[in-house]
Structure 1
Amino acid sequence: MKNAVFGLLLALQFLTRLPVPLTCPWTPATRRWAARAYPLVGALIGATLAVVGSLLEGLVPLPLLALALLSLWVALTGGLHLDGLMDLADALGSNASLEKRWAIMKDPQVGSFGMLALVFQLAWKATLLWALLAAGESPWWLVPVSALGRLGAVGLLVMVPAARPEGLAYAWQQSLDWRDLALASLLPLTGLVVLPGLLWLLVGMAVFFIIHGLAVRRAFGGINGDIVGAAIEGGEVWLLGITWSWWSFVTG
């Protein structure tokens, strides 16, 4: 039980900027429980956004509400995954050799491709949030979107090898196996009982992360922390698009 609690707190420390006033032990057991808690932390992020969205809905214009939710979304995660997205975009945009791409990813400076990726990522998120709200969609759909984005990250850590025997992604992988992915999936699978459209999100999440995993394995030989973070950001936009499509064309 202690390892499970420390694992949840460790996941909060890695995935959010929420204050955790404890120093969590970094052990194989706590890493396993942290990975299992990734979707739960994602659900917490989504629930926070949903509560704020529900409180403000009808009080402010929809474009401002969408921007407010996006700003809170970035603040809750501290822009951590956006940093990975920018690093990956700079590396891929360089069209350089593999070693040079790795050097670019480690460079703390942001290049033009990274800035373009950031602008389009935030623009797509804001626009899809606005479209969902304008279509009358409940902001509570942000709970499964955020949770499944982080479940996909666990899937990458379990299924795609680290490109190099170094870094956080490699350290996480040494403690994980398919059982951890199965346990991390329990929360999203339980949601199928109450959310009929969640099946489409699960399928969409699987498709996106399989394609992403194959692509980065071909481009880099595997994953690292930046690639996992970029996958969370890309997965969230993809899932927002699926949610909008479901609401507009299936239930609309």
Structure 2
Amino acid sequence: MKSQWRSFLLAVGFFTRIPVPALPDFKESDLNQAARYFPLVGLLVGLLAAMVWWLAHGLFNPALAVLCSMAATILATGAFHEDGLADSADGLGGGMTRERKLEIMHDSRLGSYGAIALVGILLFKFEALSALAPAILPFALIASHALSRLAAVYVMATANYVRTAGKAKPLATTLTRQDVLCASVFGMLCWLGFALMLGINQSLMAAGYFLLITSLPVLVVWQMWRQTMLRQIQGYTGDTLGATQQLTEVAFYLGLLAWERLA
């Protein structure tokens, strides 16, 4: 239990700005054991987003409440994943060769592709969250942040790490089945809870329909992005994992909107 607690704190400290106790004898390889807790960290970030939205919703108009929630997640994570999306867009969009793409992604400067991707993803989030019914928006925030980080774990489990200097060099390169299973439990917990509530209030068929509609956009976006990574750089980097989180988060919101429209 002590070892697992250490791994969890390591995941929190690596992916958020939340203060954690100093961890003695830290080695980069320790992050391999922390990978199973990445979705749990997302669940905590989602809880923070939901709490901020709930408080702001009682004081401000709906648009400002959504903006406050988005700002809270950016502050909590230090824009870690948004930065990864911007770097990925710059590298994959601006480089002509694999080596050049990786070089651009490692550059801290923001280019035109990255700026467009960053503005675009924030606008997508704002519009999608603003369009969701207030009754489900807090649950959507919690589930999306956990599920999208699980999507990044699945990339780590099914693709090769591109060994280049950068933010994600310490990330896990070998995940065990137990790591993936544990991450899956944390990542799908709130999403399945959504479906369970529907099953209680309506029917099991309605719950299954919810799971199908909300998962399809996430699966499509995840597969397309994974294929893009494999085709262009033959694997993943820390930046592309951040992009995975951002893209699948938005895909989940779009799935929820589709479910609301079709239900």
Task: State TM-score, norm by structure 2.
Answer: 0.85
Partner of 2:69: 69
1:232 aligned onto 2:249? no
Paired AA for residue 38 in structure 2: Y
Moved more, 94-103 or 187-196: 187-196
Q: Which amino acid aligns with 2:129?
A: L
Q: Note if contact 1:148-1:205 (Cα within 8 Å) is conserved in structure 2.
A: no
Q: How does 1:1-252 map to 2 (within 5 A)?
A: 1-23=1-23, 25-26=26-27, 28=29, 30-133=30-133, 136-164=135-163, 169=168, 171-191=170-190, 194-196=193-195, 197-198=210-211, 200-250=213-263
**Structure 1: 5+ residue stretches without partners:** none
Distance 1:185 1:200 in 2: 19
Counterpart contact for 1:158–1:173, Cα < 8 Å: no
What one-letter code is carried by the residue in structure 2 that aligns with 1:244?
Answer: L
Change (3 A) 1:108 1:188: closer
Q: CA RMSD in A?
A: 2.2
How many angstroms does 1:191 deviate by?
4.0
Measure the CA separation in 1 of the matches of 2:65 and 2:54.
Answer: 10
- Distance change in 2, residues 1:121/1:141 (3 Å): same
Q: Deviations over 1:96-128 (max 9, x none)?
A: 222211111111111111111111111111111
Could you tell me how far 1:27 is from its partner in structure 2?
Answer: 6.2
Amino acid at match of 1:43: L
Q: 1:138 to 1:81 in 2, by over 3 A?
A: closer
Q: Distance in 2 between matches of 1:74 and 1:174?
A: 26
* Cα gap change, 1:118 to 1:207, in 2 (>3 Å): same
Deviation track 1:59-105 (CA, whole Å, cap 9, x = no partner) reads 21111111111111211110111111111111122152222111111
Greater Cα offset, 233-242 or 166-175 = 166-175
Evaluate the alpha carbon distance shift between residue 177 and residue 214 of structure 1 in structure 2; reply closer, same or farther with a 3 A threshold.
Answer: farther
Amino acid at match of 1:126: F
Structure 1 residues 164 and 27: alpha-carbon distance in aligned structure 2, compared to 1, 3 A threshold: closer
Q: Secondary structure at the match of 1:39?
A: helix
Judge conservation of contact 2:162–2:236 (CA < 8 Å) in 1: yes
Answer with 69-78 or 17-26: which moved more: 17-26
Q: Which amino acid aligns with 1:159?
A: T
Report if aligned partners of 2:37, 2:186 keep a CA contact under 8 Å in 1.
Answer: no
Q: 1:206 to 1:26 in 2, by over 3 A?
A: farther
Distance 1:216 1:179 in 2: 25
Contact map agreement 1:191 1:198 (CA 8 A) in 2: no
Alpha-carbon distance change, 61 to 3 in structure 1, aligned in 2, over 3 angstroms: same
Structure 2 unmatched runs, 5+: 196-209
Structure 1 residue 22: Cα displacement = 1.7
Deviations 1:38-72 (A, max 9, x none): 11111111111111222222421111111111111
Report the count of equivalent residues: 248
Quote the offset at 1:234 in angstroms.
Answer: 1.1
Residues in 1 aligned to 2:8 and 2:121: alpha-carbon distance in whole angstroms: 28
